[in-house]
Structure 1
Amino acid sequence: MNELTNVTTGKARLSYVHLFKPYAYQPGQEEKFSVTVLVPKSDADTKARIDAAIEAAKQRGINEKWNGQCPPIVPTPVYDGDGVRPSDGMPFGPECKGHWVFTASAKEDYPPEVVDKMGNPIINHSEVYSGIYGRVNVSFFPYAFGGKKGIGCGLGPVQKLEDGEPLGGSAPTAAQAFGFTQPVQPAQTTQQAYQQPAAQAINPITGMPY
């Protein structure tokens, strides 16, 4: 691990969660583990460490990838959630407001460790869904591929800290759908939220369907 380019975030919200099974946004794309991380703008410490890690990754790029020169414009993976998506120019989703937004990914040969707040591995996959809060370890790295140069973000271990309102258009609970006065068991609703994080949801980074 390169300490200069590695960051463990503070408490952040997680969206577009694919931590237990690799996923491709389009047919034919390489399947990867991934998660979109929403870092509150109030967390200046995490943002400062991310910025420093990106600068360190640029220096690595100059030395190792970019033939000794830094491109005039270096695309980086961190976006302003109050701005527009780079993919289509449309505004980010409402959950991104007031946050810095980036997506980290890992190849299918490198599944991330996913643990609870005590550090124990999470066995029940339904406990991890879009909308939870947690901390994510990421590494920023330079790339030169297909004539493009920039900074990417690799996914490391993920720690769930607490539950949150599910994101991604999860299916309604039976109580919501049928007007029951007694809600269904919480475990069921959590599982629904994980299993059905919305065929129609749009990734704020890629602009592609979830």
Structure 2
Amino acid sequence: MSFGDITNVTTGEARLSYVHLFKPHAQQPGAEEKYSCTILVPKSDTATKARIDAAIEAAKQKGISGKWNGVCPPIVPHPVHDGDGVRPSDGMPFGPECKGHWVFTASAKADYPPEVVDQNGNPMINQSEMYSGVYAMVNVEFYPYMFGGKKGIGCGLGPVKKVRDGEALGGSAPTAAQAFGAPQPAPQQSAAINPITGLPM
């Protein structure tokens, strides 16, 4: 990844889904395990969307001058989709959390774990603080690929910074308080009585 290049983008505050930032995950059984997360950029954040559009165009130019041998396909697949539309994979609508957002997934190979930091920029110690539904800023790199005869634009995952908590999206385990009720104060231990004096020991 080349920070400062036009193909490198740091988002504004975005919501994360399908978070696999600490342990590589395979999208399908037998597929390559990668670190990844799906990034939901609100459509109101036009500045981030403009940077993403510029990065994709720059990545196309890199493809033409590099991997694509001087030829740009008439349609170049890229990872950014309209959350108010349908998934390109199966034609089904995106989940309700995607409404009003631009949606894309960024990934990194298993030997390039992303740096994950808390609100203060310190390394994230408690991995449970980065979950599907959290709000974060993400650094990504758009790049051209040619794989199996297919040309397109991919998205590499860079550092991730937590911004604030959000409502967890489906699939997260309940907290102990949700499952068992709010913690109760420990019962007061009654002091032992001295049987001879009748006073507390």
Give the aligned partner of residue 107 of structure 2.
Answer: 105
Aligned pairs (5 A) from 1:141-152: 141-152=143-154
Residue among 63, 68, 71 paired with 1:69: 71
1:177 deviation in Å? Answer: 4.4
Give the aligned partner of residue 93 of structure 2.
Answer: 91
Residue among 56, 59, 67 paired with 1:57: 59
- Equivalents in 2 of 1:108, 1:169: separation in Å? 23
* TM-score for the superposition, normalised by structure 1: 0.83
Give the aligned partner of residue 131 of structure 2.
Answer: 129
Assess if the C-alpha contact under 8 Å between 1:77 and 1:152 holds in 2: yes
Residue among 109, 119, 122 paired with 1:120: 122
Structure 1 unaligned regions, length at least 5: 185-210
- Equivalents in 1 of 2:183, 2:86: separation in Å? 37
**3-state SS of 2:57 partner:** helix
Give the aligned partner of residue 156 of structure 2.
Answer: 154
Identity %: 79
Give the aligned partner of residue 202 of structure 1.
Answer: none
- Equivalents in 2 of 1:24, 1:173: separation in Å? 26
Residue among 167, 170, 176 paired with 2:169: 167
* TM-score for the superposition, normalised by structure 2: 0.87
**3-state SS of 2:121 partner:** coil
- Equivalents in 2 of 1:81, 1:174: separation in Å? 33
1:126 deviation in Å? Answer: 1.0
Residue among 15, 20, 35 paired with 2:17: 15
- Equivalents in 2 of 1:78, 1:116: separation in Å? 26
Assess if the C-alpha contact under 8 Å between 1:16 and 1:168 holds in 2: no
Amino acid across the alignment from 2:54: A
Assess if the C-alpha contact under 8 Å between 1:38 and 1:102 holds in 2: yes
1:27 deviation in Å? Answer: 1.6
